[in-house]
Amino acid sequence: MITPILHHYDLSPFCEKIRLAMGLKDLDWISVKVEAVPPRPALDALTGGYRRLPVLQLGADIFCDSALVFDALERLKPTPTLYPQGEGLAKGLSMWWDRATWIPAIGVLVGHIGEHLPQAFLDDRREHYLGFDISKPAMAPLLPAHVQQMATMASWLDSMLGQGHDFLTGGQPSAADLTCHHSLWLLRANAGAEVIDAQLGLSPRVIAWMGRVAALGHGRMTQMTPDQAVAAARDTRPDPALLPEGDDPSGLKRGTEVTVTPDDTARVPVRGRLVAANSQQLTVSVSGEAGDLHVHFPRAGFQTLPVAADSRDAA
């Protein structure tokens, strides 16, 4: 089995849920630490410029977005599964939580430790994610609303756990648990568990559930530098077995030059040639410093559009 390479940084909650997936699956993996704020030249060489994290590398196959990273790990090691109750429930809960809690969680975090965060980090998240500088005094009235939103959604987790199971969708942990854990983990790890538990009114059930999720651990990690990861990609070829099967439901044809762009935040397009696509996943080819790569994206949460003829001519 190929050893997965995870490009990540410590503070990222989206990276934390993938680290927990490594633990759930009891995997050996390679850690490549990257900067929280671009530039990230080695990672850009692997992804074609995709700016969000985490990114998973399997040789010359690069998987973008945590939802697709879950799927890649599931294929790499099917048991124990990330989807014990099926993919639909876990993926739906995960996408809801990611999108619903991102801004309020950052708001609560900055309310507690904003003065300790580098200005470059705040500026970057304002420009690419939030649309405003939440650290400014004018934003202070929003902070109670962010607390309220996080408290409301945490109470929904309590309701799910009130069905008598140890985890959100049943007796076994799923991708939904790893996702819904991550925003609360971010706040408790950086602002203090007792402070956040009291402020958000986290129930004993939610706190105990967080302990069970954290107990999954992070698997067994070794280190690699970003340049070594680029070399590892350059020294191999993409695996055709990792391509999605089927056809693109919107009618895009293989070989079409396309851009792939997140539809919510960090809307930086990746440009490549479509290799394969179906309703769940697509793959584009990207060539450059890291060699000939296949870069994989989920369909949910991304826009894939053909490159206009005049744009191709200009390039």
Mean pLDDT for each 10-residue chunk of the chain (315 residues)?
95 96 98 94 97 96 98 98 96 96 88 82 69 55 83 97 96 98 97 96 98 98 98 97 95 97 91 98 97 98 86 52
> Could you count the other beta carbons within 10 Å of the beta carbon of residue 16?
24
- What whole-number distance in Å separates Cα of residue 153 and Cα of residue 189? 19
Please report which helix (H) or strand (E) contains residue 294, including its range. Answer: strand 291-298
Look at residue 129 in the predicted model and tell me its pLDDT: 60
Q: Residue 296 forms beta bridges with which residues?
A: 63, 283
- What whole-number distance in Å separates Cα of residue 192 and Cα of residue 295? 38
Q: Which residues contact 32 (CB under 8 A, 6 or more apart)?
A: 5, 6, 7, 8, 57, 223, 224, 225, 226, 228, 229
Output the CATH code of domain 5-80+221-314.
Answer: 3.40.30.110
Q: Residue 63 forms beta bridges with which residues?
A: 56, 296
Please report which helix (H) or strand (E) contains residue 24, including its range. Answer: helix 13-24
Cis peptide before 80 (omega within 30 of 0): yes
Q: Residue 295 forms beta bridges with which residues?
A: 62, 284
According to CATH, where is 3.40.30.110 located in the chain? 5-80+221-314
Look at residue 204 in the predicted model and tell me its pLDDT: 98
Look at residue 138 in the predicted model and tell me its pLDDT: 47
> Could you count the other beta carbons within 10 Å of the beta carbon of residue 105?
22
Please report which helix (H) or strand (E) contains residue 220, including its range. Answer: strand 220-223
Look at residue 111 in the predicted model and tell me its pLDDT: 82
Look at residue 314 in the predicted model and tell me its pLDDT: 47
Look at residue 128 in the predicted model and tell me its pLDDT: 60
> Could you count the other beta carbons within 10 Å of the beta carbon of residue 197?
19
Task: Identify whether the C-beta of residue 290 lies closer than 8 Å to the C-beta of residue 46.
Answer: yes
> Could you count the other beta carbons within 10 Å of the beta carbon of residue 312?
11
Which residue in the block uniquely carries the two structure tokens 């950052």?
106
What Å distances lie between residue 50 and 3, 70, 229, CA to CA? 22, 18, 16
What Å distances lie between residue 91 and 13, 78, 82, 247, 267, CA to CA? 17, 16, 10, 21, 22
Measured in whole angstroms, the distance separating CA 175 from the mean position of its chain's CA atoms is 12
1.20.120.140, 2.60.120.10, 3.40.50.170, 1.20.1050.10: CATH of 87-214: 1.20.1050.10
Q: Which residues contact 253 (CB under 8 A, 6 or more apart)?
A: 274
According to CATH, where is 1.20.1050.10 located in the chain? 87-214
Which residue in the block uniquely carries the two structure tokens 């696509």?
277
Look at residue 99 in the predicted model and tell me its pLDDT: 94
For 206, the 3-state DSSP assignment is helix
Q: Which residues contact 110 (CB under 8 A, 6 or more apart)?
A: 117, 122, 134, 135
